[in-house]
Structure 1
Amino acid sequence: MVSVRTLPDALAAALRARFGDRFQTGAAIRAQHGSTTTWIEPQAPDAVVFPETTTEVAAIVTLCGEAGVPVIPFGAGSSLEGQVNAPFGGVSVDLSRMDRILAVHAEDLDCVVQPGVTRTRLNEHLRDTGLFFPLDPGADASLGGMAATRASGTTAVRYGTMKDMVLSLEAIMADGSIIRTGRRARKSAAGYDLTRLLIGSEGTLGIITELTLRLQGIPEGMAAARCSFPTVADACNAVIATLQAGLPMARIELMDAVTVAAVNRYSGQNLPETPLLLAEFHGSPQGVAEQAKAFGEIVAGFGASGYARTTDHQERARLWKARHDLFWAVLALRPGCKGISTDVCVPISRLADCIAAAQAKAAELGLTAPIAGHVGDGNFHNLILIDPDSAAEKNAAHIYIGWLNELALSMEGTCSGEHGIGQGKAKYLASEAGAALAVMAAVKAALDPKGIMNPGKILPPSNLRPAV
């Protein structure tokens, strides 16, 4: 639903004078910037501004702060928990024009980028240097958005998440000040770790305007492998054994039988329609061959069949494209239905139990909820398919999501492995964080006393936006 509120006249006039046609209030563009890719109802901002420099972002935040108007950062719009929504109206700050790669220090394995640079574009730019940025969340997300939501993806089992890849940040704070959280040194013991405070803060503490990122050398050898299992539990137990054996997996992904069937139809694959593991190995050609061989031997002990591996680039790309197209493939199972994506993460030892319970609960509620996951991290996703006109299906999905989050917490897991909290997971954060939630609220109040920075995200309703 598009907001019908208007900005204070003085603020609108100041932003229009400063940004000209980069200040927009049309209904269509506002709706685009309040759109969500999941079940959360869109909430449009009152205006959208397209800054091109750090000082312009600082000017927007300063002007909005003086007027007590919310500021909502916007990257590629691919977030899944309502992070770009504007529940209190305000100004959406679209950072897509801040898309310069400012420096590549190949000898130091790092680079400096603006927040609107996407991971795909960065890797295209880096190709001739022999380096790459390894995180792959599936969507071609902006790097600023990935840092703001502490994103990860298929390669996190080897390379970590955004908290591991960001050396330092430049950010605009709620008072309009510009700060840098660190230097390019590979480590520092100097003061509070403000870099990691801002990573995952979803724009509620500041707006990221520059990132210094770690890079990795492109592996000399790469191989992909796949194998099928009688049950999801067999596949999960094979993953546990693989990790306990110390194999340095680059990726290890699970798809349940329903997901595999969807991928076959959508992507023209011919995979056995039973639970499937996709794996990838990075290293020297000899090391990759040894890893793939050892993986094959391990999974055979858990009933794996159809084990196949390849070093062919096109075949590897075909397999991973099928994995990245999974969202659309699953949606095609029920044309006209809406997909509700959710994720949880548990200790690896609890993964098989958690997935089995999730499948049983979905069947009990009569839901189609295929599962796929970055199982090397204990992280998995459900894409729940519902008829948007069915109140019963919507209610069942809400029951299921709440139950799944509480199940993960009962297993000493987390309500979000990588989607972030936003609006959709806020009510579960209280259960997970406990007394630490009050500390989070205190940090928010200290850094953003007027509550203008992306209000209504992360903190539960009782800690949302103070009166200005």
Structure 2
Amino acid sequence: MNAPTPLAHLAPNIQLRPVPPALIEALQSRFGTRCSTAQAVREQHGRDESAFTAVPPPAAVVFAENTQDVADAVKLASDHRVPVIPFGVGSSLEGHLLAVQGGISIDVSRMNQVLAIHAEDLTVTVQPGVTRMAVNAAVKSEGLFFPIDPGADASIGGMAATRASGTNAVRYGTMRENVLALEVVTASGEVIRTGTRAKKSSAGYDLTRLMVGSEGTLGVITEVSLKLYPLPEAISAATCTFPTIEAAVRCVIQTIQLGVPIARCELIDAGTVRMVNTHSKLGLREEHMLLMEFHGSPASVKEQAETVQEIAAEFGGESFEWATTPEERTRLWTARHNAYFAAIQSKPGCRAISTDTCVPISRLADCLLDSVAEADASGLPYFLVGHVGDGNFHFGYLIDPDNAEERRVAEELNHQLVARALAMEGTCTGEHGVGLHKMGFLLDEAGAGAVDMMRTIKRALDPHNILNPGKIFTM
């Protein structure tokens, strides 16, 4: 296994390139007040939700309002060999947005329009700055919804770039399965289109899949066509508590192996439930908990729920509490989505070293339980949540960002967890992406030959290495 990668170990990637005054002048001439060099604006665009704090901000921020704006900004940056970092809402967790080699940030948050809803085809086409909640608000009147739900109200462009997933992935898949087509600005400023709204195609290389998950290193996404789904006729959510984490996980494994089409299946450990109760003013039982949701017809939802309740009883599950109204379900899922912020607030001034390993469902209990034992033994406070229906779980080790020993311990825990997941034929990142933090782990997972192939693709599409350089792998 390669060594953990806190910021001090990223020296090969932190090589600031000069941004010539001529580029800033050209950007200000083209964009006027939509090109900002104000310190506060630059600092806002030079950080995300990761634990990295010591990277200088970009030299300028361009606020794009359409595809041509993005193309022109990239073309000017390309002419001066200056890095370009796309920015959506800043919710990424692995340092994706940090200007580790300097450059300019292109903020696409103003490109926030739903361009076309094709209800009869179950598709929608949007600009990259529109958020997942805005998409769902726009399509709800058609009786449709977009299921990918990473928790934060992330931008669709950012979700595509990081191949995001979330709580619904166990039933509906990830962004990989739900992006049909893209419009992308290349490193030279050219605008290309990948894919179509057709359900399938055998035409040439699958450039859409190549761009989804490329983390802004191969192109800047300016338009996305997504799959939609009919709103379920019936939805029911439930919580169930368990005497141990192992009992909860064994319940999940049996549920999945029996083929129950559960829509959401989330694990929250007892300590995290306490944090959530404090943050969201709830009264949830402070025990290890599964939070589940069932979609379908009233009869199928009833059958699914009864089956899972029987399975849970075999593993000591009790206190089933049902949330059948939209208000009750929203309250539960909002609390789950706020678990990260609840944890951060439980230790004022802390940052979280987060993990998002994913393993085959049959290995979930072994991987999770050994990782819990290590975290407990370390003495560091942590939170634990998981999209356990698809074998994905998250630790957040809460550290004082100025305490080198706490950071070392957290990184070592992360290192041990990833090594364990890879040994079980899992992955170092189920949904957050590689960014800065997992570059060494990607090499362990994919192997030197595969990473070299990625570098070859990067060099071919971005010969001057200006698109979000220093992420995913070193050049």
TM-score by length of 1: 0.96
Deviation at 1:273, TM superposition (A): 1.9
Aligned mates of 1:202, 1:427 — CA distance in 2: 16
Partner of residue 184, structure 1: 197
User: Identity across aligned pairs (percent)?
Assistant: 55
Please say which of residues 313-322 and 330-339 is displaced more in the overlay.
Answer: 330-339
Deviations 1:248-304 (A, max 9, x none): 111000011111111122222222222100000011112111111111011111110
**Of residues 44, 49, 59 in structure 1, which corresponds to 2:57?**
44
Deviations 1:136-159 (A, max 9, x none): 110000000000000000000011
Please tell me the root mean square deviation across aligned C-alpha atoms, in Å.
1.6
Deviation at 1:204, TM superposition (A): 0.2
Deviation at 1:407, TM superposition (A): 1.5
Deviations 1:38-63 (A, max 9, x none): 21224411111011111121111111
Q: The residue matched to 2:226 in structure 1 has which SS?
A: strand
Q: How does 1:452-463 map to 2 (within 5 A)?
A: 452-459=466-473, 461=474, 463=475
Does the 8 Å contact 1:4/1:46 carry over to 2?
no
Aligned mates of 2:33, 2:425 — CA distance in 1: 50
Matched, 1:392 2:396: no
Partner of residue 371, structure 1: 384
Aligned mates of 1:445, 1:9 — CA distance in 2: 27
Matched, 1:19 2:36: no
Tell me which amino acid in the other structure corresponds to 1:411: M
Aligned mates of 1:164, 1:302 — CA distance in 2: 33
Matched, 1:440 2:457: no
Does the 8 Å contact 1:252/1:277 carry over to 2?
yes
Matched, 1:264 2:251: no
Tell me which amino acid in the other structure corresponds to 2:450: A
Cα distance change on mapping 1:195 and 1:386 into 2, 3 Å: same
Aligned mates of 1:51, 1:295 — CA distance in 2: 48
Deviation at 1:13, TM superposition (A): 1.5
Deviation at 1:390, TM superposition (A): 2.4
Q: The residue matched to 2:319 in structure 1 has which SS?
A: strand
Deviation at 1:4, TM superposition (A): 9.4
Deviation at 1:325, TM superposition (A): 1.2
**Of residues 69, 72, 75 in structure 2, which corresponds to 1:62?**
75
Partner of residue 8, structure 1: 20
Matched, 1:204 2:221: no
Deviation at 1:28, TM superposition (A): 0.8
Indicate the structure whose relative CO is greater, using CA pairs within 8 Å and at least 6 residues apart. 2
Partner of residue 87, structure 2: 74
Q: How does 1:103-182 map to 2 (within 5 A)?
A: 103-182=116-195
Partner of residue 10, structure 2: none
Structure 1 unaligned blocks of 5 or more: 464-468
Tell me which amino acid in the other structure corresponds to 1:59: D
Q: The residue matched to 2:454 in structure 1 has which SS?
A: helix
Does the 8 Å contact 2:51/2:401 carry over to 1?
no
Tell me which amino acid in the other structure corresponds to 2:239: R
Please say which of residues 32-41 and 157-166 is displaced more in the overlay.
Answer: 32-41
Please say which of residues 334-343 and 295-304 is displaced more in the overlay.
Answer: 334-343
**Of residues 295, 299, 308 in structure 2, which corresponds to 1:282?**
295
Structure 2 unaligned blocks of 5 or more: 1-6, 8-14
Partner of residue 412, structure 1: 425
**Of residues 446, 449, 453 in structure 1, which corresponds to 2:463?**
449
**Of residues 333, 349, 352 in structure 2, which corresponds to 1:336?**
349
Q: The residue matched to 2:434 in structure 1 has which SS?
A: coil
Partner of residue 466, structure 1: none
Deviation at 1:99, TM superposition (A): 0.9
Deviation at 1:339, TM superposition (A): 2.3
